Amino acid sequence: MACSRPIEEEENFTRLVLLITKPCQKLLRACFERSVQATSPGQTIDVFLNNNRKSILQTIHGKHYKAKYFPQGGATSLDDWDILMLCHMATYLPPTVISPHLPAIKEMRNTMSHSTSGMVPSNEYLTHRKQIQDFIDAGLNYLNVHTFRTEISEEVRTIEMPIDSNTFEVFKLALNMFSHSECILQEMQGKFNSTLLDMLGKYTM
């Protein structure tokens, strides 16, 4: 029983990272695309970026992610944007119902990314979980697409299911990649079966 709290706190951390990098990121991407279109119907993401290029590249963030926003010889891909990039680009658009929730999501992402313990106490988890749900509710109401609501809700439900020990080990290795940007797939291969590796891809890609 003495080790139950650290395990619970690791699972809290794992779930928060998965919620941020999967349903929250997917939802914010869809909201961002909707907002770009609402600002100027028919406008592409690249046109939006080029219209704001000067302002974007004046920021430290914009300079750091220049290659992703303005790739040489090609169009940007939202699939390559993480939630931090989406939060930043949303500031160049008129406010929407999700705007008040973005600072908390961004701060949560940074806290998880730079965590050295990989643990979140239950009281903090409940606070963060409510912030995430408030963002999800606002985003889904903004989009008002039934199939997408079902998709996001199912992802959230899956992430919050009980985690068995083997799957949890896979998630912890995935979090190592999330926190340190290091590819450790070779370490995973041979240690876990293909089913668990497929699950890793499902939750972390």
Collapsing DSSP states into helix, strand and coil, what is residue 189? strand
Rounded CA gap, 191 and 170, in Å? 9
Enter the pTM of the model.
Answer: 0.82
Q: Where are the beta strands (DSSP E) in the chain?
A: none
Is the Cβ–Cβ distance between 200 and 43 less than 8 Å? no
Q: Identify the pLDDT of residue 203.
A: 45
Rounded CA gap, 122 and 108, in Å? 15
Q: Which two tokens stand for residue 90?
A: 């949303």
Is the Cβ–Cβ distance between 96 and 76 less than 8 Å? no
Q: Identify the pLDDT of residue 120.
A: 94
User: Has residue 73 got a pLDDT over 90?
Assistant: no
User: How many residues would you count in the chain?
Assistant: 205
**6 Cβ contact partners less than 8 Å away, ≥ 6 residues apart:** 119
Rounded CA gap, 17 and 175, in Å? 8
Residue 109 or residue 195, greater confidence: 109
**pLDDT tens across 141-151, in order?**
999 999 999 99
Domain extent listing, the chain = 19-158
**pLDDT tens across 160-176, in order?**
988 766 666 666 666 66
